[in-house]
Amino acid sequence: MDALPATAGLWLAVVVSGIYHGLNPGMGWPLAVSAALFEQRGAALARALSALGIGHFVAMLGVLLPFALMFVLVDYQREIRIGASILVIAMGLYLVFQKRHPRFLSRVKPTRLVLWSFLIALAHGAGLMLVPIYLGLCGPGQAGAGYETGSVLINQNIGTALGVAVLHTVAMIVSGGGLAYAAYRILGLKFVSQSWFNLDLVWAGSLILVGGIGLWTAL
């Protein structure tokens, strides 16, 4: 009976992290507002948000899929979860002490929103935040049946990774899109120019927190 609430809690964490990413201006919703204000068309807002969503989704899946393939090693699930959690914590600590954004990001034009969103999500460890949650969903219960072959486990894990990436990205676009729409229709350019608050430290702290929780559950 305890497994169902635990699983529901993990899926809720996927949604909450997506909302968190969507509301964070660093993930790009002000760029969508700027595009709509520049073109004076609401359709430009939808196009920009779609591009941001595609880039974010590909980045999430690109991070999760390697762990989906690794997790077929049933005998090493605990070690994989511990290693992944340490990796997430290390990324958070790196962002705490590294104040500068990677230089290559400044060379990507904001108009290339799919590529920009993909690189931003990778550079800030957005996909890594999902790894401990995803590995929790692929816990020992999924691999407990001795008759399951490696190919079946891989398909299950890839399917779960795809579900996590889709749900997370939808939550991100809905939350960020709602804020972008409000800014475009009501608040306007002045709000966008003044609303780029810095969440770098909060972001780094959230990675450390998620990684710490993942490490604790693995141990």
SS3 72: coil
How far is the CA of 150 from the CAs of 53, 80, 155, in angstroms?
A: 32, 16, 9
Q: What is the pLDDT of residues 131-173, one digit of tens each?
A: 988 888 876 555 444 445 566 667 788 888 999 999 999 999 9
Is pLDDT above 90 for 67? no
* CA atoms of 156 and 152, how far apart (whole Å): 6
Q: What is the pLDDT of residues 166-207, one digit of tens each?
A: 999 999 999 999 988 888 887 665 665 555 555 677 888 888
The confidence score (pLDDT) of residue 36 equals 83
Q: pTM here?
A: 0.83
